[in-house]
Amino acid sequence: MKILKYNYTLNYKHILILKYNKIKNNINNIYNNFKYNSHFFNLNKINLSKQSWIQCENCYNLNYSKVIKFKYNICEYCNYHFKLDSFDRIYTLIDSNTWNSFNEYLFSKLNFDKNKLYDYRNLTGLTEAIQIGVGNVNNIKITLGVMDFAFIGGSMGSIVGEKITCLFEYTIYNSIPVILICSSGGARMQEGSISLMQMAKISSLLYRFQQKYNLFYLSILTSPTTGGVISSFGMLGDIIIAEPNSTITFTGKRVIEQTLNQNIPENSQISENLFIKGLFDLIIPRNLLKKSIIDILKLHKY
Binding residues: 56, 59, 75, 78
Binding residues for Zn(2+): 56, 59, 75, 78
Whole-Å CA distances, 64 to 10, 46, 52, 150, 169: 53, 18, 6, 22, 42
- Residue pair 281/241 in contact by the 8 Å Cβ criterion: yes
- DSSP per position, 248-282: EESS-HHHHHHHHTS---TTTTBHHHHHHTTS-SE
Burial (CB count within 10 angstroms: exposed 0-12, middle 13-18, buried 19+), residue 254: exposed
- Residue pair 142/171 in contact by the 8 Å Cβ criterion: no
